[in-house]
Structure 1
């Protein structure tokens, strides 16, 4: 069996985003008008995140699936200063005051990020999911709007939600330490992924700087094909990359060397359970 952290000893490839895209990396998601499943509104999160409606196809909520919840809580509290509240079940927690809204969920076979996308019309979006080979549950109503659990045509779990006040029209505002600022989708077949998310969310893609790498236009995300299984890697924003890398190592994780990009500094890391992620000082 190969070492799951072997990738950390390799140079980090750049997807070479265009200047407009890299500028928007500095503007990351703030407080949504619609809260995703299981979110507990806290006094802290309400004061630190002004309400903003996410645009159609923006990630309005993301949850990190991990094998051991308690270990993940300790690790990300150390590295990203996350604090949490109870989630919808014993294995779930909601991360307070982060942008977009974030959750942690234990009991997974391996670590990966899952995303919930804001849509203008959830019924129409569900029909698109089914029409292009994915699976979508029926929408359910909650205080934060309508939501549906989905799976794409390659088996990746995601969700859709329709905010009660409608989607926004402006790019989200700047994020802070511990926020999700970029998402890298590693997929088996990039052509299928591009066709699926293009049809469902209206995403458009431009070639990136690595083999079978693609940037999602107007969205803080990139996609690369050719992987043995689908995994979604988050980039967490940090105030001081050097200090954060030391915290990763001190907490039992593995941290690569910082790499200079047009938008700032980044490093590929893995937590103490082998879940890979990027840290970015932007």
Structure 2
């Protein structure tokens, strides 16, 4: 059994996060030699590509075969999309921005998915804390798509939800969508257009970490998929990341909608907490 892991393709300048990214992966209890890694460096302006190569050379030259990863591949593909940081999170820029991110994610998926891959884990490069048993824990949920609950890692240790895009539709959110144009993209976390969905970060977290809830959308709040585990056959059978509005969603949320339309199960674990760095 092997994994194909994507370091978020939309994170153009990822160099500052790579030490932590590889340290966390290295500490997981799932055997390294059964994990395949794949990265897409896109429109980067720092030394992300060179830093990736350095980390890979160090890890893959270890004396012990079991300490190495099964394979590590780095791809470069620019989409000529340059958006100033000041505009990255503007409401009106999100459909275009997320469309480019979907194209990048699909490019990486088509390039990296192997015939013997059993699971695909999409992991943000700036997720800074998760249990070392996370792969086995998420697999135990036995869902086609499963996500943990991602909180914000703060210096004051205050409790803040990060991923507002793990959600379940409500009667009110469904009613709102009845009168929307087909190409209108719904976005979580923006005051301009409330969606009235039930967010997983608003669900009780004092439950068993194996407790799962059915979801209609999975994480995409700012940069990527934080930590999303997908059975590989879901991707093989055609569920990808739409770069166009699909049921009013694009990218990872559109992927969740598409997967559910195809009959696949999408679940979240509100009591299984991981943490994302506060970087914006």
TM range (shorter): under 0.3
Relative to its length, the structure with more helix (as a share) is 2
Relative to its length, the structure with more strand (as a share) is 1
Quick one: higher RCO (CA 8 Å, sep 6+), 1 or 2?
2
TM-score, normalising length: structure 2: 0.25
TM-score, normalising length: structure 1: 0.25
